[in-house]
Chains A and B, each alone.
Chain A
Amino acid sequence: MLLHIKELTVHYEGAEALNNVTVEVEEGSVVTIIGANGAGKTTLLRAISGLEKPVSGEIWFKGDRIDGMLSEAIARKGIGHCPEGRRLFPFMTVLENLKMGAYSQKNRAGIEENIHNIYKRFPILKERARQKAGTLSGGEQQMLAIGRALMGRPILLLLDEPSLGLSPLMVNEIKNIVTTISKEMMVSILLIEQNSRMALSVADYGYVLETGRVRLQDKPESLMTNDHVRKAYLGEEL
């Protein structure tokens, strides 16, 4: 087991954001957590990254207990976090943004090589290397954000709403990127999405989070045929 979250309870600004949540991510897999706004998805990722302190429960990564560790240390252990919304440093160039991804890394030798690999994966970023990140299109910004998260050579990548605000075409592109990262770069992914259809189509396993609790968990194929999921998350008329 790469990541094991055991009975995690987190309070966010006084309110209960997560209640007794247990989530597991196997090595090499894509796991998605779907849920509405305010279900606690972002809080869960922040707790994994050490940015929220759990009230109770445990988080284990590669056999080490990481809850209570500093966020820098967690990042160094191999967890990359790609937060939602404003994902870039708008006044830094594309290249500078990529370098920021390796900020807490102790080994600074591999940075050039990492940048090279990311340019190979996302040629558009190489083209725009000297451009200010704030001038990129939405899709390019998301690519840069993912590229930056990969700069830390993560074993596990936490993706928070990568499809947010993107055109359907770009959403498809992001889907391909997620698949590529997990299959070719051997990075496990914990994907959080409101776009449930997209998320379930790339994932190996899925959780449904509702008001801080895990309501359902199953293989995506089964979740997609589940009545509750179809009605509440896929917008199908039953």
Chain B
Amino acid sequence: MNKNNRIKSLLLLVFTIIGFLFPVIRNDPYTLSLLLIIFVFIVAAVGFRLIYITGRLTIGQAAFMGVGAYTSALLSLNFGINPWLGLLIGGIAAGILALGIGYIVLRVGGVYFVIITLCLAEISKLFWLWWRPVTYGNSGLIDVPGFSIASFQFGINKIPYYYLSLIIMLVALFVMYRMERSRIGIALHALGQNDVLAEHLGINRTRYRVLAFTTASFFCGVVGSFYAHYIHFVHPDQFGVMPSIMIQIYGIAGGIGVFFGPIVGSFVVAGLTEFLKIAKEFQPLIYGPLLVIIMLFLPKGLIGLPQMFFKSSKK
């Protein structure tokens, strides 16, 4: 057990160092931009899992990315609010919305909750589309300002953005990891496994679920806001049902049972997306069966693959 943990933290350290050194090794704008988008989705996918462990499956997380993105972009465009502050405000806006919505809808379970979150993703998209005087609807928000430190503008060079997204991801992962390992995390797992019993032991069902939902959505808001200031453009289509479903695919394909599953899933599936760019609109045709195959043959997700291999070779 202890040895396992040591190996795990060593691996983690190695990956973090690789993450930080990567631009030095390979300063290729294309790879860097791909990686920093993967980091964004890792945060969303790990958040998806945080909600999942309380026994609630959501396919609406992109809605909160949208709230973060639009809040922060609109504030910087209309009131000149600094994007750095926008990251935080975007996160808080998404968190507050999640708190309000979560308090009502998290009482519902099973497939009903899934449908509600699906609607949430779609409604949020329609909201941005129809609130034209502010969001310019289908035209989207253009020329969203980027980040800057003093007089240094994060510009054409991808490296500053890469590091920013890496740091945001590491902070978000650290907070969610610590949360899951804490007393709160025990309560979240307890709710997922047997919420009636958890309630008997004095764990308030709604309160703890709202906590997980709000935390995950806060970080979705932060990365959404980052995304807006990175590509300088916000459009309703970026945050509809499809990205929400992608977040879910990253989480489940990677392995929803363990913290690092969604991280692996994001790398593999998002990498695959790049590979499949040739397929264009036929991509869903590939994802669908892929997800089904993974669920059928790899119930623990991609992260369970080495373990399965190890076990079968042992026999």
Contact B187 A51 (CB under 8 A): no
* Segment at the interface with B among A14-22, A89-97, A193-201, A225-233: A89-97
Residue of A nearest to B191 (CB): A89
Q: What are the interface flags for A75-95 relative to B under an 8 Å C-beta threshold, 1 for contact and 0 otherwise? A: 110000101011111111000
A12 within 8 A of B: no
Contact A92 B193 (CB under 8 A): yes
With a 10 A CB-CB cut-off, give which of A83, A89, A90, A101 has the most chain B CB atoms.
Answer: A89
A188 within 8 A of B: no
Checking A75, A87, A88 against B202 with a beta-carbon cut-off of 8 angstroms, the contacting residue is: A75
With A92-B189, A103-B187 as contacts: A51 and B200 at CB distance below 8 Å: yes
Checking B183, B189, B200, B204 against A83 with a beta-carbon cut-off of 8 angstroms, the contacting residue is: B200
A100 within 8 A of B: yes
Name the prevailing secondary structure of the B interface residues: helix
Contact A86 B203 (CB under 8 A): no
With a 10 A CB-CB cut-off, give which of B189, B190, B200 has the most chain A CB atoms.
Answer: B200
Query: Given the complex, which residues of A lie within 8 Å of B194, measured CB to CB?
Result: 86, 88-90
Query: Given the complex, which residues of B lie within 8 Å of A88, measured CB to CB?
Result: 194, 197
A87 to B201 alpha-carbon distance, docked (Å): 11
Query: Given the complex, which residues of B lie within 8 Å of A91, measured CB to CB?
Result: 189, 193
B21 within 8 A of A: no
Query: Given the complex, which residues of B lie within 8 Å of A72, measured CB to CB?
Result: 202, 204
B85 within 8 A of A: no
Contact B200 A100 (CB under 8 A): no
* Interfacial residues of chain B within 195-226, with CB under 8 A of chain A in the complex: 196-204
With A100-B186, A103-B186, A103-B187 as contacts: A89 and B202 at CB distance below 8 Å: no
A87 to B196 alpha-carbon distance, docked (Å): 9
A37 within 8 A of B: no
A56 within 8 A of B: no
Contact A83 B197 (CB under 8 A): yes
A88 to B198 alpha-carbon distance, docked (Å): 9
A92 to B186 alpha-carbon distance, docked (Å): 10
Query: Given the complex, which residues of A lie within 8 Å of B203, measured CB to CB?
Result: 103-104
With A100-B190, A103-B186, A103-B187 as contacts: A89 and B200 at CB distance below 8 Å: no
Q: How far is the CB of B201 from chain A (nearest CB, A)?
A: 5
Interface size range on A against B: 20 to 34
A72 to B207 alpha-carbon distance, docked (Å): 13
Query: Given the complex, which residues of B lie within 8 Å of A70, measured CB to CB?
Result: 202
Q: What are the interface flags for A45-75 relative to B under an 8 Å C-beta threshold, 1 for contact and 0 otherwise? A: 0000101000000000000000000111001
A90 to B183 alpha-carbon distance, docked (Å): 18
Contact A89 B189 (CB under 8 A): yes
Residue of B nearest to A83 (CB): B200
Q: How far is the CB of B301 from chain A (nearest CB, A)?
A: 16
With A92-B189, A100-B186, A103-B187 as contacts: A86 and B202 at CB distance below 8 Å: no
Q: How far is the CB of A42 from chain B (nearest CB, A)?
A: 11
Residue of A nearest to B201 (CB): A103
Q: How far is the CB of B54 from chain A (nearest CB, A)?
A: 13
Contact A89 B199 (CB under 8 A): no
A49 to B197 alpha-carbon distance, docked (Å): 12
Q: How far is the CB of B257 from chain A (nearest CB, A)?
A: 9
Residue of B nearest to A75 (CB): B202
With A100-B186, A103-B186, A103-B187 as contacts: A90 and B202 at CB distance below 8 Å: no
Query: Given the complex, which residues of A lie within 8 Å of B193, measured CB to CB?
Result: 89-92
With a 10 A CB-CB cut-off, give which of A76, A101, A103 has the most chain B CB atoms.
Answer: A103
With A89-B189, A92-B189, A100-B186 as contacts: A71 and B197 at CB distance below 8 Å: no
Beyond contacts A71-B202, A81-B200, A103-B201: 12 other A-B pairs, Cβ-Cβ < 8 A, are: A51-B200, A70-B202, A75-B202, A83-B196, A89-B190, A89-B197, A89-B198, A90-B194, A92-B193, A100-B201, A103-B202, A104-B202
| Interface pairs (20), CB distance under 8 Å | A49-B200, A70-B202, A71-B200, A75-B201, A76-B202, A83-B197, A83-B200, A85-B196, A89-B189, A89-B190, A89-B198, A90-B194, A92-B189, A92-B190, A100-B190, A100-B198, A101-B201, A103-B186, A104-B201, A104-B203
B residues in contact (CB < 8 Å) with A: 183, 186-187, 189-190, 193-194, 196-204
- Nearest 4 A/B pairs, CB to CB: A104-B202, A72-B202, A89-B193, A75-B202
